[in-house]
Amino acid sequence: PQAGHPHAYPPAGAVYPPPHGPPAGQMYPPPQGPPGYYPPQPGHGYGATAPPAPYGATGGDQWGAMALFNQIQQQQRMEMEGWFAAADRNKTGKLTANELSNMQFGNQRFGMETARLLVKVFDTDRSGSIEFVEYAALHKFITSMQAAFYQFDNDRNNSLDAKEVEQALSQGGFFISQNTVLNLVKKFSGNAQTTQAPRLSFEQFIQLSAHLGVLRSSFQKMDTDHDGWVHMSLDMVVDMISYL
């Protein structure tokens, strides 16, 4: 941003993060939990070594928790361990939606509903909480979608219209038809019953992304041959939707 314009967007083609990000080379955004570092407790499972992957990190699942976790540099993992441990106040080795809502991403704290959806993205056992590897993968998921949001906010008004949402979702790995995107934007903007062109704020976009992330995780569990197609009974459809 230019001097005197602390909230200006970066020029076209500039590298994200937006204003007030960390120095070059550091990861954005650093979630901020309570101050201080609490070392991982024995048996809590959020040390530097990742547990076996139950998410299909091989076989084409590029969006599983382990696949995303393996893209994170060791130094970034160590930073994340500190953030995770600081937020894990009762030292269970897991984070709930309530604990996640107390953290900040890009100088923004998400509401409880957004945090609930975010936890579900990688909560494949439906326990209502995520362990360290899942949290690190979630962090990478959020930063990827955040970068896509600002990249395609073409008119620089801190919101996206349906076309911009479609572009941002594609950048984040969600290839959804234009009509489906429009329906989703109406749903998450709260303007489904109006004739006004719907737009999504940043948090609404993250909610939509998390919603799609949950659906993708559920779909991939059933797509055992990783061909992008599954045969589903009505019961399977209802079970998948009921978890949203």
Q: Residue 103 above 80 pLDDT?
A: yes
pLDDT tens-digit map of 30-60: 444 333 333 333 333 444 333 333 333 333 3
Q: How far apart are CA 144 and CA 209, in angstroms?
A: 10
Reading the block at residue 166, the tokens are 């479609």
Q: Are 223 and 215 in contact (CB under 8 A)?
A: no
Q: In the predicted model, what is the mean pLDDT of the chain?
A: 75
Q: How far apart are CA 140 and CA 46, in angstroms?
A: 16
pLDDT tens-digit map of 187-226: 999 866 566 788 999 999 999 999 998 888 778 778 788 7
- Tell me the mean pLDDT in the region 17-35: 41
Q: Residue 61 above 80 pLDDT?
A: no
pTM: 0.69
Q: Are 72 and 128 in contact (CB under 8 A)?
A: no
Q: What share of the chain is helix, strand, coil (3-state, %, to 5)?
A: 45, 5, 50
